[in-house]
Chains A and B, each alone.
Chain A
Amino acid sequence: MSILNLTINGKPYGPFDVEPGMPMINFLHEYVNLTGTKFGCGEGVCHACVVIIDNDDGTSTTHRTCISNVMLFNNQRVRTIEGHAEKNKVGEIIALHPVQDAFIKNFSFQCGWCAPGFTNETVALMEKLKKQPIAKDQVETVIEETLGDHVCRCTGYVKYFNAAKELILTTKGLTI
């Protein structure tokens, strides 16, 4: 067994005595009851289970929790789908993250199972572009590269891609 401490959505968790080989998604679901991160394939192909790690150097990276050992997240700061929206003091959601807002207003998802993965990936992309803006004519290519590995079985991806494109092009500082 290994000892795990980590921060999820700004809240410290731990110490937990965990099986060292356990995938992170099992920890999220069975130990801390955060089921917003979705299990899709269990082998890292569909990307439904993607979460964000905020690194000490100020960068953020996305990780597939179904194939990532829980100890990879030890002492890390993790963001999951439950952490993006703004909440009031009683815990009610009062405002969505711009990515969430763009996805719902574009009717980007249907069943919604893939939405957490797409959202986390796009949030991380937005933050990266804030630091490293790209040319407007590269936006489609960057979206293809970033979201192209995510599986959605309902929508055909069109409204995810269009929402991301619109958001990147209209958010100040992401493109040059």
Chain B
Amino acid sequence: MKDWALSRRDFIKKCVIGGVTVYSAPMLFKPDIAIAAGVKESLAQSWYQEGKPAFRFDAIEKITGQKIYGRDYRAVDIPSWPDTQHHAFIIRAHIANKVYLGLDLDLIPADIKPYKIITAEDLKNNALTLPPFYGDNMLLDVGKVPDYLGHELAILLFDKFEDFMKAKLLLQFHEKFVKYGDDIVPYTALSRPPYAAWRIIRQESAQGVAGEDQYSTFSHGQFFPQYKGQKLEWPKAISDSKDVGERGMFLANALRQDMAENNDWFVLDKHYQTQSIEPMMLEPEAFNGFYDKKSQTLHVVITTQSPQDFFQQAGKVLAQSPLTKGITNLVVHSPYIGGGFGAKDHTIFPYYGVIASLFATAPVRLANNRFEQFQSGLKRHPFSISSKLAFDKYTLKIKGFVSDIEVDGGGRENFSASVTSVGASASQGIYYIPRNDIQAWCLPSHLPTAGSMRGYGSLQTMAAMEMMMNEAADALDVDPFKLRRANAMVDGDKNTQGATPLGKIRYLEMLDLAEKHPIWQQRHANKVKFDKANPDKSFGVGFGFVSKDYGTGANAPSAYAGVTPEGKLIVKIFSVEMGTGTDTSQASLVADYLGKAADSVEIAQIKLFEALELYEDDNPYIMSQEHQDKMAKDPRWTPVVVSASSASQSAFFQSHATKHAAKILFEESLFPAAKAIWQEAGTSTETILIEHAQWQNGQLTLAGFAPIDFSLLCKKAHSLGLVTGVMTHAFNRWEWADGDFKINTQLKNYPLDAIAVEYGIGASKATKATLNKQGFKVIPRQSVRYPKVQLNSAMVRYYTPCLTMVEIAVHKVSGVVDILQSHTWIEPGKVHVKQLVEGQIEGGLTMGVGHVLHEYLPADETGAGNGEWNIDRYKVPFAKDNGVWNINYTMLPAIAGSDESKGLAEVVMIPIVPAVVEAIYQATKKRFYHLPITPKDIIEALKK
């Protein structure tokens, strides 16, 4: 066992949170023990060939079974840990309407008893609590009612794997191990206030969209209700009030009244219900931790897509407890994760691992099996949506939209507020709506906690909007493309919040493409032919068209690009690799500026970027303009230091920071190095322009000058002590912040709010004296322009449109729906790696098929919270379910003025949902308003 103090230098930069120093550690393993000892460098480097990726950056490690995931690691694999491995097992409640009376420990045979049972009392005695984000009752007190199904009751610690497994096998499904009172009592959730409530009201001006809105969330600001129990009390409706809420409510009520009374309108009034969904990422959550009392260090391996959250919160948790008084260091390993889909974003799971580590007497592993993951993992929020969509009967234009959306947030508040908000603001889909009143609220329930799962609320609401458009087209007896053309947003239109989407809107172009496709053009003839050939089946075609927002309104990506004297190009990013290919795309895109892809990419870097010396001090969503203006004068201040990784964040946001790091590295280092080399060769470089330099085959070229190898430039940059590493930080609130920086001699403006650089080995003593303890020089920000705080009220402004058309067959006897083929049109902006985008389209469509046809968890005691669910009952889509050989797509080429690269990992799963619903209608003439549509639903409908 290595001494932790001796290996401390191996770990990446540190910060101090509440007296605990937090280290971000690389994922090391003992090469003498690990079976996969590594990949020969020439093979590893062959991932990038002929100017593009030949395979994923992480492909070889993944396809050869190397230890790269958090769940892979055991104590024996990790330097500085003893080899002994202990195991932890969380006991959870499977009933939420009875009083918890403790555990029947007599059921555990003496030879396999745990050496420690951690209870709520232990936590209380040691002042151990969850971070405030997650709420209280980390372990439930005896005598209390569980807050939700799956509420954590105790953690059992075992020192032998065999005992652990035997005990788990015995206890996990034992009906009597957890003792409850006899009486049925009300769910605690019923007495808790809503997690959040939002209202989006807009009325365009009398002059139409071009004029200033009479009222909008964007221009007038947001307002919120009072809670009376779980009821919302919105402000009174007063037409001439100066109060934003009262005036807004007057307009909202007027719209609702018009819906009931305007005879020139066709109003479709429908209710939609979506289900609770298990993300079912294939790697269940796991944790390994070791409290090394000798070195006062807690080491942990986590499986999370938001390590920055863990860094910030865990240190605080430890700092509060007398039990952890001795801990001065927290070392966090955050390796690759086996899928996330939001289930590993701000998950509560690692905090239970921390607790287990504190009480364990050796390294302890906590790993959910699939039943436990179903019981305790974050879920997709179920939405209950009642909407009215009004059309002018004559022009087919949408005249108004009202929607009342109730969201089930489950047992703990996680990302419910923002999922509810995003769902509400996404309701409009691709359509321009002149008047809207959308209210959405999220209630606690006794179900497992819902979080930020893929789709983030917009899956639920946009799919409902498309179902309405399809039904409206049918009711109005108008072609669904014609109805959409009449209402699709065009450049300059405002969203339901009153903000103008950024980039060129190409919805009409996409409608034209889809309408011409043979699936649509030949649908009638194909139905006749198919139905005749398959008398037991019925053929149908449908489509859906949505435009999903991406971005959070407070994105704060960081990146580093640097070179070694030997010519290695290293990229480090804050994002986590969840499978979407972030590491591959970021490694590739630097080639645009540096002529080659990165030799190495380090993901999930959090502490590294503390070299930028940034701090934040307030909530970026609610801070005042005055506060922002005042703080912006401090060059070390930023609205957000680091934001979470999620599926739609890397293409646009992470790439922004990475490409600017690469660009600055070229401008301030490699090009000056080239000039120096050319000058030494006796060539004058006074008149040459950087714009004329080009990379060709790994060499920097300029007409009239000898080409220079990348590695030689790196060597020169180092020997001259030039900038050899650039760290960037950016902030986006629906616009990028931009700042002025002087890195060498020239003041330049970049769409960044912080830059730090490191210098080559030949740097002078004077230069070295300017470096901070992390070895970087922070470039003073001379001025900065942050996006106005008013943009928070825009709620969203970046969109990626996606249309999917599907051909299906419904089996009339079994009710089974077969996907025959699909075609998706998407506008991805600039594509970094085509195959990665294709993979998102294919995978997203398949997850959408699961949402619309297969995946379902009951919203009661028979649901996932009872701990008895796995994929024998929960049906995820297999290859036979998605038309695997016939998934096609068209990626619209990027055009000038559009976003460079768009976030798309979520939007790709949405349009297939309404497309399938409509196709089922076309096949059966039965409409469905709940998801999923199961074979049983179809059979019952066909009987009517």
**A83-125 vs B, Cβ < 8 Å mask (1 yes, 0 no):** 0110110111111100010011111011111111001000000
- Which of A130-138, A154-162, A166-174 interfaces with chain B? A154-162
From A26, A104, A147, contact of B63 by CB (8 A): A104
Q: Within the complex, what minimum Cβ distance (angstroms) separates B931 from chain A? A: 18
Q: Does B161 interact with chain A (Cβ within 8 Å)?
A: yes
B165 interfacial by beta-carbon distance below 8 Å: yes
B394 within 8 A of A: no
Tell yes or no: B548 within 8 A of A by CB.
no
Residues of B within 8 A of A37 (CB): 65
Q: How far is the CA of A152 from the CA of B336 in the complex (A)?
A: 17
Contact with A along B323-354 (1 / 0, CB 8 A): 00000000000001111110000000000000
Residues of B within 8 A of A100 (CB): 63-64
A144 at the interface (CB under 8 A from B): yes
A106 to B876, CA, bound (A): 23
Provide the bound-state CA to CA distance between A152 and B842, in Å. Answer: 11
Q: Is the CB of A111 within 8 A of B283?
A: yes
B839 at the interface (CB under 8 A from A): yes
Interchain CB contact under 8 A, B872 and A45:
yes
- Chain A interface extent, by class: 35 or more
Given A93-B39, A157-B879, is A33 in contact with B63 using a C-beta cutoff of 8 Å? no
Q: Which residue of A lies closest to B876 (CB)?
A: A151
Stretch in contact with the other chain, from B68-76, B604-612, B791-799: B68-76
Please name the residue on chain A nearest to B87 by beta carbon: A30
Binds A, one of B30-38, B289-297, B769-777: B30-38
Cα–Cα, bound, A104→B47 (Å): 9
The distance in angstroms between the C-alpha atoms of A82 and B341, with both chains bound, is 27
The reply on A62 being an interface residue by CB < 8 A is no
Contact at B63–A103, with CB atoms within 8 Å? Answer: yes
Residues of B within 8 A of A148 (CB): 878-880
A161 lies within 8 A of B338 (CB): no
- For B37, list chain A residues within 8 Å (CB): 87, 90-92
Q: Does A24 make an interface contact (CB < 8 A)? A: no
Could you say which residues of chain A place their CB within 8 Å of the CB of B915?
Answer: none
Inter-subunit contact B60/A96 (CB<8 Å): yes
Q: Which of A84, A85, A113, A149 contacts B339 (CB 8 A)?
A: A113
For A137-153 the 0/1 string (1 means CB < 8 A from B) is 00010001001111111
In the complex, are the beta carbons of A110 and B843 less than 8 A apart?
yes
CB-CB contacts below 8 Å: B640-690 with A: none
Q: Which of A84, A140, A149, A158 meets B64, CB within 8 Å?
A: A84
Q: Is A65 an interface residue (CB 8 A)?
A: no
| Interface contact A33-B69, CB-CB below 8 Å | no
Is B937's CB within 8 Å of the partner chain A? no
CB < 8 Å neighbour of A104 from B34, B35, B36, B59: B59
Q: Which of B205-213, B416-424, B535-543, B577-585 contacts A (4 or more CB under 8 A)?
A: B577-585
The answer on a CB contact under 8 Å between B878 and A39 is: no
User: Which of B65, B337, B579 touches A82 (beta carbons < 8 Å)?
Assistant: B65
The reply to whether B71 and A39 contact each other, CB–CB distance below 8 Å, is yes
Does B879 contact A19, Cβ atoms closer than 8 Å?
Answer: no
Looking at B37, B63, B843, B870, which has the most chain A CB atoms within 10 Å of its CB? B63
Chain A residues with Cβ below 8 Å from B281 are 111, 113, 153
Among the listed B64, B71, B284, B882, which residue makes an inter-chain contact with A157, where contact means beta carbons less than 8 Å apart? B882
B846 CB contacts on chain A under 8 angstroms: 155-157
Taking CB atoms and an 8 Å cut-off, the chain B residues in 59-90 that contact chain A are 59-60, 62-67, 69, 71-74, 76-77, 85
Does A71 reach chain B (CB closer than 8 Å)? no
Closest A residue to B54 by beta carbon equals: A105
B110 at the binding interface (Cβ < 8 Å) = no
Q: What CA separation (Å) do A109 and B165 show in the bound complex?
A: 31
Q: How far is the CB of A97 from chain B (nearest CB, A)?
A: 9
Q: Evaluate whether A158 and B887 lie within 8 angstroms (CB atoms) in the complex, with A38-B283, A153-B876 already known.
A: yes
Expressed in whole angstroms, the Cα–Cα distance for A80 and B836 within the complex equals 27
CA distance A37 to B69 in the complex (A): 12
Q: B835 on the interface (CB 8 Å rule)?
A: yes
Known pairs A93-B43, A116-B65; A48 contacts B35 (CB<8 A): no
Task: Chain B residues near A3: list those with CB within 8 A.
Answer: none
Assess the A45–B884 pair: CB atoms within 8 A. no
Question: Given the interface contacts A42-B371, A45-B870, A92-B39, does A110 sit within 8 Å of B579 by beta carbon?
Answer: yes
- A151 CB, nearest partner CB in chain B, Å: 6
Contact indicator B370/A154 (Cβ below 8 Å): no
Let me know if A154 and B845 touch, CB within 8 A. no
**Residues of chain B within 8 A of A154, CB atoms compared:** 339, 579, 839, 843
Residues of A32-57 at the interface with B, using a CB-CB cut-off of 8 Å, are 33-43, 45-46, 48
Bound together, the chains give a CA A108 to CA B645 distance in angstroms of: 23
Q: Does A22 contact B (CB under 8 A)?
A: yes
The answer to whether B280 and A112 have CB atoms under 8 Å apart is: no
CB within 8 A of A80: which of B65, B66, B843?
Answer: B65
Residue of A whose beta carbon sits closest to that of B42: A94
With most chain B CB atoms within 10 A of its CB, the pick from A30, A41, A91 is A41
Let me know if B55 is at the binding interface, CB within 8 A. Answer: yes
Kindly report which residue of chain A lies nearest to residue B39, judged by CB atoms. A93
How many Å lie between the Cα of A48 and that of B280 in the bound state? 13
Contact B62 A159 (CB under 8 A): no
Kindly list chain B residues whose C-beta atoms are within 8 Å of the C-beta of A80: 65
**Is A111 in contact with B55, judged by CB distance below 8 angstroms?**
no
Instruction: Assess the A112–B579 pair: CB atoms within 8 A.
Output: yes
Tell me if A78 is interfacial: C-beta within 8 Å of chain B: no
A126 cross-chain contacts in B, Cβ below 8 A? none
Q: Which of B280, B369, B845, B870 contacts A156 (CB 8 A)?
A: B845
A103 to B60 CA separation, bound complex (whole angstroms): 10
CB <8 Å contact, B882 and A156: yes
CA distance A159 to B841 in the complex (A): 12
Q: With A110-B580, A116-B65, A144-B879 in contact, do A26 and B338 touch (Cβ < 8 Å)?
A: no
A81 within 8 A of B: yes
B35, B67, B872, most chain A CB atoms within 10 A: B35
- The answer for the CA separation of A93 and B66 in the assembled complex, in Å, is 11
Interface core residue of B37, B65, B284 (most chain A CB under 10 Å): B65
Cα distance, A96 to B62, chains bound together (Å): 12
On chain B, the residues within 8 Å of A29 by CB distance are 74
8 Å CB contact of B77 from A30, A33, A107, A111: A33
- Check if B813 is an interface residue, CB within 8 A of chain A: no
Q: Specify which chain A residues have a CB less than 8 angstroms from the CB of B73 in the assembled complex.
A: 35
Complex CA–CA separation, A124 to B35 (angstroms):
22
B880 contacts which chain A residues (CB < 8 A)?
Answer: 144, 148
**Complex Cα gap A122–B673 (Å):** 50
Q: How far is the CA of A112 from the CA of B67 in the complex (A)?
A: 12
B40, A104: Cβ atoms under 8 Å?
Answer: no
Which of B66, B76, B282, B841 is close to A111, meaning CB atoms less than 8 Å apart? Answer: B282
Query: Whole-angstrom distance from the CB of A68 to the nearest CB of chain B?
Result: 15
Asked if B58 CB lies within 8 Å of chain A CBs, one says: yes
Q: Mark B880-921, 1 if CB is under 8 A from A, else 0.
A: 101011010000000000000000000000000000000000
Min Cβ gap B162→A in Å is 6
B184 at the interface (CB under 8 A from A): no
Once the chains are docked, how many angstroms separate the CA of A110 from the CA of B839? 8
List of A residues within 8 angstroms of B34 by Cβ: 33
3 tightest Cβ-Cβ pairs between the two chains A and B: A36-B65, A111-B579, A112-B62
Some 8 contacts from A to B, beta carbons below 8 A apart, are A19-B162, A107-B838, A115-B62, A140-B885, A152-B282, A153-B843, A154-B839, A161-B884
Given contacts A19-B162, A35-B72, A115-B63, 20 further A-B contacts (CB under 8 A): A33-B34, A35-B67, A38-B282, A41-B370, A46-B871, A92-B37, A93-B39, A93-B43, A93-B64, A96-B64, A106-B835, A109-B62, A112-B58, A148-B880, A153-B280, A154-B839, A156-B884, A157-B842, A157-B882, A159-B835
Q: Which residues of B contact A (CB under 8 A)?
A: 33-40, 43, 54-56, 58-60, 62-67, 69, 71-74, 76-77, 85, 161-162, 165-166, 280-284, 336-341, 369-371, 578-581, 835-836, 838-839, 841-847, 870-872, 876, 878-880, 882, 884-885, 887
Please give the residue numbers on chain A whose beta carbons come within 8 Å of chain B beta carbons, in ascending order: 19, 22, 26, 29-30, 33-43, 45-46, 48, 80-82, 84-85, 87-88, 90-96, 100, 103-107, 109-116, 119, 140, 144, 147-159, 161
